[in-house]
A and B are shown apart, each in its own frame.
Chain A
C-alpha cells in the first residue's frame, strides 16, 4: 500500500475537488477538501497536512496568498499549485513563493502520478530529516539541561570535567538560568550519585532558621525545639550539599560553614559534641561575589573555599539559538503533563519568543510555554497564545489588598485563562481539584457566560 499522506485539495470548483479527491483516494491517501483559502487555513489550524493542491485563482484570498501563508507558518508542507487559467507568470510567482510544483488542469495522468510519487519520496526524506534532527536535539540535552549553543556545550563539558572530583563548585548565573539543574547534573555524574543531593535555598530562610536547617538541633535547644532535628549538613553525608543563593548567607554563618568545610565536622545546635560529615559542596549565586568580597559583605576566605571551580551559566539572551529548542522541549513536557496535543509553535510565535529579552531566563520561558499549552486551542501555539504585547510581557497590575483578595483575584484569573476547566486550573495553581472547588465556593466565583 502507498505511504500514508494527508492531503488537502483547495479549489473553488466542486467537480475538481471531488475528481482529484476520488483519484487520490484510490492510492490510499487521506484526502480532505476546502472550497476556499479561508476554509483551508481553518483546517490547517486544526489538522496536520503533508501536501496541498491549491488552485491559483479562487474568489477571496487567491492561491498564491494562501501558499505564502502556509509556507510562513508550516514550511514543511508541500504545496502544488493547480490552475486552469495558468499563466507562466503566476506559476513562476508560485514557485518563487515556495510551491514545490504546479499543474495545469486537466492533468496528464502519467504526469500526476509521477508528481505524487515524487512528493511521497520528498515527504519520506523530510520525515527522515526530522527524525535525525530530533535525534540531534535529543543529544543536545544533558541530564535535564537543554541547549545546543556553544556556551551551553561549554557548560556541559565543564560539568563532566568537574563531576568526578570532590572540588567545591560555584555556579554563577542570573535567576532562572537553571543553576540548580547544573548542580543536580554534577551530582548525577559524580561518584556520590547514589547518596543524597540536598538543596538549601539560603536566601529564603532567616539566619536562625538557616542555622537550624543546616546544623540541626537537639531537643530543647531553643524554644519550640521539641525533638531532635537532623541538619542538612548531616543529611548530605556521602552526597552533595547544594547551597543556593549562597551570597545571601550572613557573615557569621559564613564563618561557621567555613569551619565545617575545613574540619568536616559540625555541632548540632544545643550539642557540644561534634558530628562528622562528608559531602561535596556545590554553591550557586546570582550575585557578583567577587565584588561583594571587595565591598566586605562576603568573606574572602569563604569565597575562596567555595569558589575553587567557577561555572558560569549564560543568560538566555546570550544564547538565543537555544530558545526554539527549549520552547519545544517545554511544549513536549507540558503536552504530556497537561494531556494536550499541541503539535508545534508557529513561526510567528517563535519570532516573538526569539525577539524577547527573557530577563527571567529559562524559567520565564518555561512559564510562558506552560501558559500557552494551557490556553492553546489550536494545533500550534500562535502569537495570541503568548502573553506579549509589542515585545513586552503583559503583566496585570498588582492587586492591592489582603492576601485573601490577591488569592481570589488570582484564582479567578486562572479560571478565566483555562476557560473554567477545573483540572487544568488546579494543575496550573498547583492545588488539587477539591481544594479548587472549595475556594471557588468560598469566594463565590462564577463563570462568565461567553454567549
Chain B
C-alpha cells in the first residue's frame, strides 16, 4: 500500500476566478517545489460574514479550511474574492496562523488601488501569486523579514506588493528548509 503524495491543497471559496486559481497554484508549486491540487469550489462560510463591517472575518474561514483539508495535503490555501478582515484590522489581503494548517487570500482589494483603478488583470494575478506565497510561508513558521527583495517583507499597501519579487531571501530560504526537514518533507 502506498500513501498519497503530499500536496498543497488550493481551495476555491465563493466565486474565485479560474485565472487566479491557476496563477496561485503555479506560483506555490514553483516557489515551494511541492505539487498543488485545486479542489472543487466551496461557498464562503456564512458565519464569516460580519454585517456591521460588510466584510468577511478570516478566522471562521481558516477554521472551515482546516476542517476541509484533505489528509494528504500539507497545507490548505483558500482563495476567494470577498473583502477580508481580522478583528483588529480594517482589512487584510490574506491571513495565516504562524505554523498553522490553513491560509486564505482574497483578490477583493487587489483590483482596487489608490490612483490606479482599474488595475490591469496581469497585475491582479501577479499580486495574487505573491500574496499566496507570502501567506503560505507563515504556515511554515516564516515571519516578516526586513531583507531587501524578500517576499516575506510586510506589505500593508498594494504599492509595496508590486515592488517585491516572488522569491525568498537566503535567510528565509534557510528557515523554510529547516521547517521542511522538521516536517519530514525532504
Contact = CB atoms under 8 A, between A and B. Distances in A.
Interface of A: 1-2, 15-16, 19-20, 22-23, 25-28, 105-110, 112-113
B90 A109 contact: yes
13 contacts: A1-B145, A1-B146, A2-B144, A15-B59, A19-B88, A23-B88, A23-B89, A26-B138, A105-B88, A106-B89, A106-B90, A107-B89, A112-B156
B90 A107 contact: yes
A19 B87 contact: yes
Most buried by B among A1, A15, A23: A1
Contacts of B90: 106-109
Which 4 pairs show the lowest CB-CB distances between chains A and B? A109-B156, A110-B156, A19-B88, A19-B87
Contacts, number: 59
A23 B87 CA distance: 11
A29 to B, nearest CB: 9
Most buried by B among A22, A108, A110: A22
A26 B152 CA distance: 10
A102 B29 CA distance: 42
A113 B146 CA distance: 13
Nearest to B96: A26
A85 to B, nearest CB: 15
A22 B97 CA distance: 7
Main secondary structure of the interface of A (DSSP, over half): helix
B99 to A, nearest CB: 10
Interface of B: 59, 85-92, 97-98, 138, 143-146, 154, 156-157, 171
A423 B134 CA distance: 54
A26 B98 contact: yes
Contacts of B144: 2, 26-28
B102 to A, nearest CB: 14
Contacts of A106: 85, 87-90
Contacts of A2: 143-144, 146
Nearest to B55: A106
Contacts of A27: 143-144, 154
B35 to A, nearest CB: 26
B159 to A, nearest CB: 10
Nearest to B160: A110
Given A15-B87, A109-B90, A28 B97 contact: no
A113 B89 CA distance: 11
Nearest to A108: B90
A112 B86 CA distance: 13
A28 B154 CA distance: 12
Contacts of A22: 86, 97-98
A109 B90 CA distance: 7
Contacts of B89: 19, 23, 106-109, 112
Contacts of B156: 109-110, 112-113
B172 to A, nearest CB: 10
Contacts of A105: 87-88
B164 to A, nearest CB: 15
A109 B89 CA distance: 6
A294 to B, nearest CB: 75
Nearest to B92: A109
Contacts of A107: 88-90
A224 B86 CA distance: 90
Given A25-B98, A26-B98, A110-B156, A1 B88 contact: no
Nearest to B58: A19
